[in-house]
Amino acid sequence: MKTAYFSPFVSAYRFVLVLLFVLPLHAQQELFVSGRVLDSLSHKPLESCAVGFYNDKNQVVNGAVTDAKGYFELSLPPGRYRMVLDFIGYEKKEIPVLIRQNNQFLGTFLLSVSATELSEVE
């Protein structure tokens, strides 16, 4: 009669597999949030605008880029964040936001054209 033999490696491997399936069940819930970014004058969508969410330690939690219609969508754990909208040629905008429900539409944000003066070439 054969006896089953489990090496420590096989036992450790099974333990890791169990953890991989159990840990996501205990992970903090991610909520989907969305919004839209438009030009403040023309109200046209700003495609490829960077949208970043920072925690209170000024660390990036998640980020996205707007699509052709100016929309962005991403997932975040519930909490308070500083949302930063940044697009070349426009003034950067920082907005405090509270994420507390799933499928939360944060709103439509208007960015103003940056009035940067260039010096003349000599």
pLDDT tens for each residue of 81-111: 999 999 999 999 999 999 999 999 999 999 9
Strand ranges in the chain using DSSP code E only, listed in sequence order? 31-39, 50-54, 60-65, 71-76, 79-86, 93-99, 104-111
Domain 31-111 indexed as CATH 3.40.50.740:
no
Instruction: With H, G, I as helix, E, B as strand and everything else as coil, classify residue 2.
Output: coil
Compute the CA torsion angle 99, 103, 108, 114 (nearest 10 deg).
Answer: 60
Dump pLDDT digits (tens) for 50-85. 999 999 999 999 999 999 999 999 999 999 999 999
Instruction: With H, G, I as helix, E, B as strand and everything else as coil, classify residue 75.
Output: strand
Dump pLDDT digits (tens) for 10-37. 444 555 444 455 445 445 689 999 999 9
